[in-house]
């Protein structure tokens, strides 16, 4: 398993990411995640859609909560050809509770707790913590990575405007 030391920080402390450093143009790796109904979900379940994959450490933290709520608001403007998936290590029960408590109904929350295939295949699993790093990927309709935003300091939110600019470019292509 590839290790990338000092790839992200948490309050200034460096951490190692496990898995490859994916780049724009790479084929999107498959994954097996669990939805809030405890059903397995793979990349193929979103075939033909543009997929925004928002990897976060835990919905029960302020930054992850704000990020997921922001993507939920933005999803209303993105069109029917786009699906927003937030992936964390939170258990599906906790994700379901969190979505209900925060009115999140446009973002699909998925859990990587079972086999860690998303974290390892997308290179976002934090070795020392067992959590996922904060990264936003956009995968096109042909399952090719078209955008990657790694947030170097986990306590910071992503640049939403940059994500939206990239999405508009992908939708026009």
Active site residues: 64
What gap in Å lies between CA 148 and CA 20, rounded to an integer? 13
- Cα 106 to chain centroid distance, Å, stands at 14
DSSP string, 3-14: EEEEEEEETTEE
How many CB atoms neighbour CB 76 within 10 A? 9
Q: Are 125 and 132 spatial neighbours (Cβ–Cβ below 8 Å)? A: yes
Q: Are 28 and 43 spatial neighbours (Cβ–Cβ below 8 Å)? A: yes
What gap in Å lies between CA 49 and CA 85, rounded to an integer? 12
What gap in Å lies between CA 91 and CA 57, rounded to an integer? 12
How many CB atoms neighbour CB 39 within 10 A? 10
């Amino acid at each position: 398993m590839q290790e990338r030391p000092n790839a992200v920080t948490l309050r200034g402390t460096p951490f190692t990411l496990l898995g490859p450093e994916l780049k724009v143009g790479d084929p999107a790796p498959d994954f097996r995640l669990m939805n809030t109904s405890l059903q397995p979900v793979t990349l193929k379940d979103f075939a033909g859609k543009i997929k925004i994959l928002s990897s976060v450490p835990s919905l029960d933290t302020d930054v992850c909560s704000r990020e997921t709520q922001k993507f939920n608001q933005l999803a209303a403007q993105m069109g029917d050809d786009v699906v927003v998936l937030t992936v964390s290590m939170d258990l599906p029960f906790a994700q379901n509770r969190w979505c209900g408590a925060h009115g999140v109904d446009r973002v699909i929350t998925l859990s990587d707790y079972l086999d860690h295939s998303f974290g390892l295949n997308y290179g976002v699993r934090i070795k020392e913590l067992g959590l996922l790093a904060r990264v936003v990927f956009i995968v096109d309709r042909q399952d090719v990575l078209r955008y990657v935003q790694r947030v170097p300091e986990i306590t910071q939110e992503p640049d939403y405007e940059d994500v939206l600019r990239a999405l508009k470019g992908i939708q026009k292509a």
